[in-house]
Structure 1
Amino acid sequence: MQLERWHQIKDLFSAALEHPTADRAAFLDRTCGNDIELLAQVHSLLDAHESSLGFIERPAIERAGLAPPFEPWDWQGRRLGNYRIVSELGRGGMSHVYKAVRDDDQYYKEVAIKLLRPGLDTQGLLQRLRDERQMLAELSHPNIAQLLDGGVTETGAPYLVMEYVEGQPIDEYCEERGLSIPARLDLMRTLCGAVHYVHQHLMVHGDLKGGNILVTQGGVLKLLDFGIAKLLNASSEASQALNNQFVALTPAYASPEQIRGEPITTASDVYSLGVLLYKLLAGTLPFEVPAELFGRDAAAASGDRQPRLPSIAAEQGKIASYRRIARQLRGDLDVIAMKALAREPEDRYGSAEHLAEDMHRYQRGFPVHAHPPRALYRTRKLVMRHKAATVASGLFAVAIVSGIVATAWQAHVASNERARAERHLAEIRKLTNTYLRDVYDAAVNLPGATEVRKLLVENSLKHIAALESESQDSLEFKRELAQAYQRFGDVQGDYLGANLGDTEGAVQSYRRALRLREQVAQQSPTLADVSELLRSYVSVSELLAAQSKLDEAIELAEDADDIGQKLAAMPGATAPEHRMAAAARMLLGTNLSTVDLPRALEALQSARATFERLFAEQPKNPGARRDMALIHSRLGFAYARAWQYEQALEHYLPASDYAERLVAEFPADAAALRGGAFALNNIGEVYNALGQPDQALSRLQLALERVEHLLRIDPVNEQASVAVAYVLNQLGDSYLLKGEPATALTHLNRALRLVTEAPPPKPTDIAEVRMLPGMTNFRLGKAHALLKHQREAATFLAASLTRLEPLTADPVVGKDAQRLTEEARQLLQSAS
């Protein structure tokens, strides 16, 4: 929008406010004449549909006087879907938020439900709420309030079901508990991490303030309310529409460009983070902007002047606790806050992550990037970090006074600092290498080791990341950091191993490892470094394919295959390098299985030839046998996806044979038990598809025993819980095929309990996890239909359609979902 146009709209809006509400429409009709767009913009401004709602906050639109207060919409006691509304939590310009509970006899859970306020069900605002739902659906972060569900009311208005957060605004939380500066900085760094995650998903929040950031009694921070969030990768048309759309932001926290009505960017969120940091440190806002001011009036409240330094604001403030800490803010904390609050976006921190990094550097006593890089400043920081060296520093100072040349002193300090950093780095490397290589490798396949692996990697990452700024582009450091991220990704969501169920977190960790290894391989294209780079390509591609993001997964797999062929051709390449090259080609074949079967089989057979050669050379090597089990499993998968079950069985059977030999040789190895269970389940699933349930049952029973054992000894392992529910589904299917629906129900009801107790599937979960609720409900409906339980059958079949229909377009499981939905509709028709 042109700035002049905005001023015209704003001035007309102000004039309209001078008229009684009943007379405004006639006034606008007279003033706007034939300018329909101008009329629509002012009406939109008068509607003032702010959605900057914390759960407990009175809406800014009412405080500003832009709309009269309204009476609560009486939803208490009513139901929306499976949720019963208990009480009102708050109101925004656009919406009400209610506390509700899920009490549908499956489980009890407190939630928050966001509904459009009455009278605002315009098409534009309905779309705004739908957009917010889509944005939240793409975010899965421990410090962001999670979207749990959604639906539409009887009148067709969408609503959001969100995680209920019982907490205080971050500034009130810090104030009430009298938190120390380090504790406040820890909370701010956590918040920066959540905001950076939002930015990585190509969104900006747009209304960061205390009321939208709650901290629970347990100290867990939660970022709320994406009501005015904006997509950064929107189309030009959509982006323009967003820019032209008025949002009732909070002026005291809004960046100068937001107040001027310009497009918001990630830099706008960085500014708001700076405002919040300023308030947590100084006890006051950098600029006190009255909530009723907008546009030019709000900008004029601060003008072009800079805010006082936080240390000065704290010292001159009325709150004694802040006056006492004012001296601690001088220097680094002052410059950090002021850099975040720079008027021009390009002068601020480049990202929320960079702001968090500078706060962390301050906490550890390192020079902060916001401070001018002067030698004396760096020397002072060094002395503060190493207080034991202050006596030596004093002696050097005397020497300087005696005439030692300043440049020699600076060189000496730099040399000492480098040497000290190198010694420190060497000590930490030794410790983390022990964690990441020796201890981790010893624990990785131990049953019940998921929590141990998580702690090992988290501690290693913490120590390594603390030294990142001192790495001086060290290749060795980048190798170690990449290894830490790779293994953390394995713990988070390696879907073939024990994991915490955080698939998207695993993708992000794998991507970090990949970026680091690309840098290393570019400078050091050795066999070892190229092999590790290939490992990262395979990990990212494999998990993206499991998430049904096939386009990017196939592209990465093709890149991996190219790298693999170059690796195998490098001088000195031996069996490990040839194995990695074959693994990359196997991945390419697997990813192509659902879109191009001939090309997939060609790649898989090529990989098989390499694995068979390596197995012939080392038949007693457990890794070679594991590769043989895996390649036959992937070939079986390719045929099964094409519903060519006889051919699939020809590969699933030998895959199971290889896997069982590993189980016999390593009975306490969790990976061997898991691989053996998966192989047995694959055979059982194919025999069911062929209508031979008796052949399936014995294998599925053994698979169930193994995955139940893994779940009992490792309850933190989310993959084990999913595996149990999945095998129970196949057992239920076998008994349905045998005509024993009552027996099928015993297994399927157990599967339903596991599915219900698990967090709701997210769009970023692997395809099998997203498919499991719909598949379970379908088979339960089918069992009840066979038992003539018409009401129960209709309930479960309808639930299965709700969960399966969105998956029919999925590139991985779409055909299976389509087949089940068609059968569910037929059964539902019969049941009714």
Structure 2
Amino acid sequence: MQLERWHQIKDLFSAALERTAADRSAFLDQVCGADIELIAQVRSLLDAHESSLGFIERPAAERAGLAQAFEPFDWHGRRLGNYRIVSELGRGGMSHVYKAVRDDDQYYKEVAIKLLRPGLDTHSLLQRLRDERQILAELSHPNIAQLLDGGVTETGAPYLVMEYIEGEPIDVYCEQRELSIDARINLVRSLCGAVHYVHQHLMVHGDLKGGNILVTNDGVVKLLDFGIAKLLNTASDASQSMINQVVALTPAYASPEQIRGESITTASDVYSLGVLVYKLLAGALPFEVPAELFGWEAAAALGDRPPRLPSVAAAEGKVASYRRTARQLRGDLDAIIIKALAKEPDDRYGSAEHLAEDLRRHQRGFPVDAHPDGTLYRTRKLVVRHKAATVATVLFAVAFVSGSVATAWQAHIASNERARAERHLTEIRKLTNTYLRDVYKAAMNLPGATEVRKLLVENSLKHISALEDESQDSLEFKRELAWAYQKFGDVQGDYLGANLGDTEGAVQSYRRALRLREQVAEQSPTREDLSELLSSYLALSELLAAQSKLEEAIPLVEAAHEIGKQLVATADATAAEHRLMAATELALGTHLSTIDLPRALAALQSAQVTLERLFAEKPEDPAARLDMALIHARIGFALGRAEQYESALQAYLKSSEYVEPLVRGYPADAGIMRGAAFAAVNVGEYYNFLNKPDQALEYIQLALGRVEHLHAVDPVNEQAALAVAYVLNHLGESYLLKGQAATALTHLNRALQLVNAAPPAKPTDIAEVRMLPGVTNFRLGKAHAMLNHPQDAATHLGTSVTHFQPLTDDTVIGKDAQRFTDQAKQLLDSLS
């Protein structure tokens, strides 16, 4: 049978699959006419497809008339070697797959056994199964289904014993769990590692597609089905090439050279990986197939047409979740995927490993090889690498934005032509939005980027604010400005992340974002706009509470909570909306911890229930894991306010357990490093409260190493320096509890140097910053008293009392300030 005939069969098979089972017969009668043999061949493929559950091999092709009519052999309960078959898993076009268990009393293990279908035991197909067995025997990789054993049946037919995998196809797994873009990329990177491993063993998989890649319940990728894998150093004859073409039957994932019937190479697998990434991130395939074409015919017709950008496909798709994330695909991810889908093999990535590395660079905010090297992109690359030239480059970029703003503003004033002003405004929005988003993303969690963030705020905020009056009735422009203000606030003083220590400036930026989002939500109360409004209420509330302004913070978080209840009240509420609702409960519980503990714990426990459910659904999602660390830390804080130290310690231990794996997985992420450091120091603090300094030291020294690293790579970051001083304080307390006052003094003197080098604490600073000078002097006073240095002890203790007294009326830290004041006065009395 000629290759053209096989293409015809495959075209019809693909087209028939797109129709319901009831419509297929009429469809085949219409398109095949009197070609009875053609109808029989396509129906044979359809029968094989319908009978397959596809564990190891998806539907394969068999030549019409190759197999004689047979009665399926009942293998249930029979033994093959050391294994007993218990059930059938699926039937492919060439093989049956059975579930079996080891049955030799050595140990229990579930496996999958692959056998040729009865009637297909021809020499060529028997050899193919032997080849597959040999290929798998040479592969040992955690992301490849493992060959465990093999043998021959009593009739001499070979069989394979494979690792039994409970999982779902990778595309189904991602959609059902609503995985984030980053989580999907992580799965693809694992898959690329497996494919690269295959290539290193001089093999090509040849049929990479969603159905051949399972993800287990534990989030582990498993590559399956090496039934058409090819040894690169083995010549293949024409008949073998024809079989490969027939078996693949996946035109949507096939490379152009496969469609042309040419030999497949590692570049063919890279192309298929590109299609898979496109599907996972955009929710669609790269090409819109004309309605009049189908299968291989359609693929061939589209061979010279460039694919749609993934971001465009996602934005124009029917699924809302992909439309919401379309913006995240613009730029690097578009470029990476398009490079993998290049028509010519030489224009693609040179290896699956190279593709994985570019994806990793994108995740870390580094420049990617696939991206065109434009001016703005070069700016971002310099920011990421934070070389000496970065500051000059960023200033140039800011000046460029600022100049464009000024030019557009003057043109508006001078011309009074509304249409022209609107055109300028549109250009400003595009430039400002692109600049802010790209540079902010590059510098967000990059260690050592404080100077870049400072320049970003100082040189851009005044120009952005000038645009606010020009927003007029444009909701989209107000949304963009609100986003910018929100990010400025994060950079200025988000106390949970890296910031410039400008807490009051952050409050003002958050207020501007909130005002704009209130205007938008009033005119457009969509779920997306309400979610953004909730986020603004929440950010401002958290920062005001950290400033001890609970009288304003609590109403704001209650307003956020009301929006959250509205968002989750419907059955179609998304995981992101449930997470926002939990965030409002988390913040409310924290705010109330010092004034209404029962209500605080009730809110925190409600948030915990939601976050635990979301984490169970996406255990591989770093954001979900961070949420679990945060909720346990907040519960620990509330219990600590009630002096339930043992219970607080257990909560903080759980917080640390959740965040530690992220440090190992994302060692270059400054935000994760900072969060893990404070999770560890919280554990140490409560071990100190329970007078267990040895256990405390283990955690506090771990935290110290982390904050010192962050300070070393970002020496101009005053907040990083104060974080080191904060951890040194707890380290000094542990040594004081151990009676090692001299060692404590060394660490506490260093803490005081860092505190004194920072600007004086302001009433608008967060609570920990306002408390730090007093606490440091108090502990220094204790150390000197223990060492019998009464004059030094009195100096430091007197300084601490002076510092604490204005804070004793504070709604959040007043109780702590009073406790330290009382202890300091008692020590002073003992010295006199």
User: Scaled by the length of structure 2, what TM-score is found?
Assistant: 0.50
| Residue number in structure 1 paired with 2:575 | 575
| Residue number in structure 1 paired with 2:704 | 704
| Residue number in structure 2 paired with 1:353 | none
Shift of 1:460: 4.8
In 2, distance between residues paired with 1:771 and 1:478?
38
| Residue number in structure 2 paired with 1:382 | 414
The C-alpha deviation readout for 1:432-456, integer Å capped at 9, x for no partner, is 2222333322321111122223333
| Residue number in structure 2 paired with 1:686 | 686
| Residue number in structure 2 paired with 1:438 | 438
| Residue number in structure 2 paired with 1:392 | none
The C-alpha deviation readout for 1:610-663, integer Å capped at 9, x for no partner, is 101111111111111111011011101111111111110111011001110110
Q: Does 1:506 align with 2:538?
A: no
Q: Contact 1:432–1:463 (CA<8 Å) still a contact in 2?
A: no
State how 1:652-663 maps to structure 2 within 5 Å: 652-663=652-663
| Residue number in structure 2 paired with 1:516 | 516
State how 1:128-139 maps to structure 2 within 5 Å: none
| Residue number in structure 2 paired with 1:405 | none
In 2, distance between residues paired with 1:638 and 1:823?
23
Q: Does 1:640 align with 2:672?
A: no
Q: Contact 1:635–1:651 (CA<8 Å) still a contact in 2?
A: yes
Shift of 1:819: 1.3
Q: Contact 1:436–1:457 (CA<8 Å) still a contact in 2?
A: no
| Residue number in structure 2 paired with 1:713 | 713
Q: Look up the equivalent residue of 1:437 and give its one-letter code.
A: R
Q: Look up the equivalent residue of 1:767 and give its one-letter code.
A: A
Considering only aligned residues, what root-mean-square deviation do their CA atoms show, in Å? Answer: 2.1
Residues 550/462 of structure 1: CA separation in 2 closer, same or farther (3 Å cut): closer
State how 1:194-593 maps to structure 2 within 5 Å: 381-383=413-415, 417-569=417-569, 572-593=572-593
| Residue number in structure 2 paired with 1:48 | none
Shift of 1:706: 0.6
Q: Look up the equivalent residue of 1:382 and give its one-letter code.
A: A
Q: Look up the equivalent residue of 1:556 and give its one-letter code.
A: L
Q: Look up the equivalent residue of 2:537 and give its one-letter code.
A: Y
Residues 802/459 of structure 1: CA separation in 2 closer, same or farther (3 Å cut): closer
Shift of 1:701: 0.8
| Residue number in structure 2 paired with 1:798 | 798
In 2, distance between residues paired with 1:732 and 1:511?
39
In 2, distance between residues paired with 1:707 and 1:365?
44
Residues 626/600 of structure 1: CA separation in 2 closer, same or farther (3 Å cut): same
In 2, distance between residues paired with 1:362 and 1:536?
26
Q: Look up the equivalent residue of 1:645 and give its one-letter code.
A: Y
Please state whether the residue corresponding to 1:569 is helix, strand or coil. coil
In 1, distance between residues paired with 2:816 and 2:738?
21
In 2, distance between residues paired with 1:478 and 1:507?
19
Runs of 4+ in 1 over 6 A off after TM superposition: 360-365
In 2, distance between residues paired with 1:513 and 1:362?
20
The C-alpha deviation readout for 1:581-601, integer Å capped at 9, x for no partner, is 110111000100111111000
Q: Contact 1:585–1:606 (CA<8 Å) still a contact in 2?
A: yes
Shift of 1:776: 0.6
Shift of 1:365: 8.7
Residues 803/459 of structure 1: CA separation in 2 closer, same or farther (3 Å cut): closer
The C-alpha deviation readout for 1:664-694, integer Å capped at 9, x for no partner, is 1100000110000000000000000100000
In 1, distance between residues paired with 2:430 and 2:782?
58
In 2, distance between residues paired with 1:674 and 1:704?
10
In 2, distance between residues paired with 1:460 and 1:363?
12
Residues 432/830 of structure 1: CA separation in 2 closer, same or farther (3 Å cut): same
In 2, distance between residues paired with 1:468 and 1:794?
54
Residues 717/528 of structure 1: CA separation in 2 closer, same or farther (3 Å cut): farther
Shift of 1:563: 1.3
In 2, distance between residues paired with 1:464 and 1:773?
36
| Residue number in structure 2 paired with 1:782 | 782
In 1, distance between residues paired with 2:522 and 2:572?
19
In 2, distance between residues paired with 1:503 and 1:584?
21
Residues 559/363 of structure 1: CA separation in 2 closer, same or farther (3 Å cut): closer
Structure 1 residues without counterparts, runs of 5 or longer:
1-359, 368-377, 384-413
| Residue number in structure 2 paired with 1:758 | 758
In 2, distance between residues paired with 1:488 and 1:578?
26
Q: Contact 2:807–2:813 (CA<8 Å) still a contact in 1?
A: yes
In 2, distance between residues paired with 1:570 and 1:524?
19
The C-alpha deviation readout for 1:107-145, integer Å capped at 9, x for no partner, is xxxxxxxxxxxxxxxxxxxxxxxxxxxxxxxxxxxxxxx
The C-alpha deviation readout for 1:170-218, integer Å capped at 9, x for no partner, is xxxxxxxxxxxxxxxxxxxxxxxxxxxxxxxxxxxxxxxxxxxxxxxxx
In 2, distance between residues paired with 1:365 and 1:816?
53
In 1, distance between residues paired with 2:688 and 2:700?
11
State how 1:607-618 maps to structure 2 within 5 Å: 607-618=607-618
User: Scaled by the length of structure 1, what TM-score is found?
Assistant: 0.50
Shift of 1:483: 1.0
The C-alpha deviation readout for 1:458-502, integer Å capped at 9, x for no partner, is 555455444434332211111111111111111111111111111
Q: Look up the equivalent residue of 1:419 and give its one-letter code.
A: A
Please state whether the residue corresponding to 1:649 is helix, strand or coil. helix
Q: Contact 2:729–2:748 (CA<8 Å) still a contact in 1?
A: yes
Please state whether the residue corresponding to 2:496 is helix, strand or coil. coil
The C-alpha deviation readout for 1:530-585, integer Å capped at 9, x for no partner, is 11111111111101111111111112111111111112225743111111111011
In 2, distance between residues paired with 1:738 and 1:813?
27
Residues 466/810 of structure 1: CA separation in 2 closer, same or farther (3 Å cut): closer
In 2, distance between residues paired with 1:422 and 1:454?
30
Please state whether the residue corresponding to 2:447 is helix, strand or coil. coil
| Residue number in structure 2 paired with 1:649 | 649
Q: Look up the equivalent residue of 1:583 and give its one-letter code.
A: A
Q: Contact 1:500–1:716 (CA<8 Å) still a contact in 2?
A: no
| Residue number in structure 1 paired with 2:830 | 830
In 2, distance between residues paired with 1:523 and 1:753?
53
Structure 2 residues without counterparts, runs of 5 or longer:
1-402
In 2, distance between residues paired with 1:790 and 1:686?
29
Please state whether the residue corresponding to 2:568 is helix, strand or coil. helix
In 2, distance between residues paired with 1:459 and 1:571?
45
Shift of 1:741: 0.4
| Residue number in structure 2 paired with 1:117 | none
Q: Look up the equivalent residue of 2:719 and give its one-letter code.
A: Q
In 1, distance between residues paired with 2:696 and 2:805?
28
In 1, distance between residues paired with 2:480 and 2:527?
17
Q: Look up the equivalent residue of 1:610 and give its one-letter code.
A: T
Structure of greater Rg: 2
Q: Contact 1:478–1:520 (CA<8 Å) still a contact in 2?
A: yes
The C-alpha deviation readout for 1:493-523, integer Å capped at 9, x for no partner, is 1111111111111111111111111001111
Q: Contact 1:590–1:638 (CA<8 Å) still a contact in 2?
A: yes
Shift of 1:718: 2.5
In 1, distance between residues paired with 2:408 and 2:643?
62
Q: Contact 2:408–2:428 (CA<8 Å) still a contact in 1?
A: no
Q: Contact 2:408–2:425 (CA<8 Å) still a contact in 1?
A: no
Q: Contact 1:676–1:703 (CA<8 Å) still a contact in 2?
A: yes
Q: Contact 1:781–1:795 (CA<8 Å) still a contact in 2?
A: yes
Residues 556/829 of structure 1: CA separation in 2 closer, same or farther (3 Å cut): same
Q: Contact 1:457–1:487 (CA<8 Å) still a contact in 2?
A: no
